Amino acid sequence: MPVKIRLQRHGKKGKPFYWIVAADSRSKRDGRFLEKLGTYDPNFNPAKIDLDVDGSVAWLGKGAQPTDTARAILSYKGVMFKNHLLGGVKKGALTEEQAEAKFTAWVDAKEGKVQGKKDGLAQAQVDADTKAFEAEKAVNEARIAAAAPAQEEE
């Protein structure tokens, strides 16, 4: 039975929400699946991804093939890297502790990058709001100044 790790679409029209599942490759896109590995919500920036890393690595170890999009998500969350490290453990190049230390360091670095992006986006939103407020304030002041001579004539 060829197993694929793929996305299963949920959500309403225009607001997609995906489950990341391990499914028989012959089943329909939104049909039966063997195990739900996580969720992917692209409606946020950055996208929200909740993934069972160990379950995904187990399916990859059993020979499951991820689709292109699922591979990108697994790579983003470090599943592909952990699978690579476990291959090194099987060959004897690394110990289990060394592989876990490398994976933990990678996850910490990735979380720092993601947090930096979130902070940058939040700061950009604050700057845009401030700029819009200043522009509105200038327009209001110009309107008040234009209305002042008309009130003096009355």
Per-residue pLDDT, 46: 83
pLDDT at 38: 95
Architecture of domain 3-94: 2-Layer Sandwich (3.30)
Domain ranges of the chain: 3-94, 98-154
Measured in whole angstroms, how far is the alpha carbon of residue 20 from the centre of its chain?
A: 13
pLDDT at 150: 67
Per-residue pLDDT, 16: 95
CB-based contacts of 8: which residues, under 8 Å, 6+ apart? 18, 19, 20, 21, 23, 29, 30, 33
Mean pLDDT by 10 residues, the chain (154 residues): 91 94 89 93 90 92 93 93 90 88 91 89 91 92 82 67
CA dist 120 and 139 (Å) reads 29
d(CA 65, CA 107): 23
